[in-house]
Amino acid sequence: MNYILASQSPRRRELLGKLGISFEIEPAVGEEVPCGETPEEIVKNLAAAKASEIAAHHTEDADAVIIGADTVVVCDGEILGKPKDRRDMAQMIRRLQGRAHEVYTGVALCYERDGKHCCHSFAECTRVHFYPMSGEQIDSYGAHSDGLDKAGGYGIQSDAAIYIRGIEGDYNNVVGLPIARLYHEMEQKELIG
């Protein structure tokens, strides 16, 4: 199999490496257009769009398995994507502090099977609980955090870790790739040995 990760995320790259497979990186560059009725549908569709974009470049490679992923944070039914700037990031953290929210990651696998293009997608949800934060802590976080490139404005594996009270579900899903579920989905589809 020729595995290709349709993402430039260093976190996804690191997590996918835990499968013990060799893979290439070929980030999707198309515009992300959310579509779907639920957060689960939206992340599955975004992941499928990314994987399909890269799969279109590999139509002659019958062994290609393209892996696309997308993560969103959901608070009170509203999707929080990546913040526009530091002020937006602080606003997101202000909403998340002292309460629970959900993190959805959609994953799509595009591959050829018996001469047909296949795309299998799934979504994982993890509930994350934040400790309460003071206004000063939120302002400091907004000014200095590395959360600008992360859904919801934070990374559970980085400086936001000191504010995470607990999670219900898969930690790696919050980082950006539910690697255990991915492994089992790939095993069921006979895409990994």
Residue 88 known to be catalytic? no
Q: Where on the phi/psi map is residue 167: left (φ > 0), alpha (ψ -120 to 50), or beta? A: beta
CA distance 56 to 72: 25
Higher pLDDT, 60 or 90: 90
- Tell me if residue 155 falls in helix, strand or coil: coil
pLDDT band at 34 (very low <50, low <70, confident <90, very high): confident
Q: Which two tokens stand for residue 156?
A: 């559970």
CA distance 48 to 182: 14
What's the pLDDT score for residue 32? 77
Summarised one tens digit per residue, pLDDT across range 116-171 is 999 999 999 999 999 999 999 999 999 999 999 999 999 999 999 999 999 999 99
pTM, entire model: 0.94
Range 16-38 burial, b when 16+ CB lie within 10 A, else e = beebeeebeebebeeeeeeeeee
CA distance 156 to 172: 9
Q: Give the relative orientation of helices 135-144 and 86-96 as an angle to the nearest 10 degrees.
A: 140
Question: Looking at 61, 63, 70, 139, which residue is catalytic?
Answer: 70
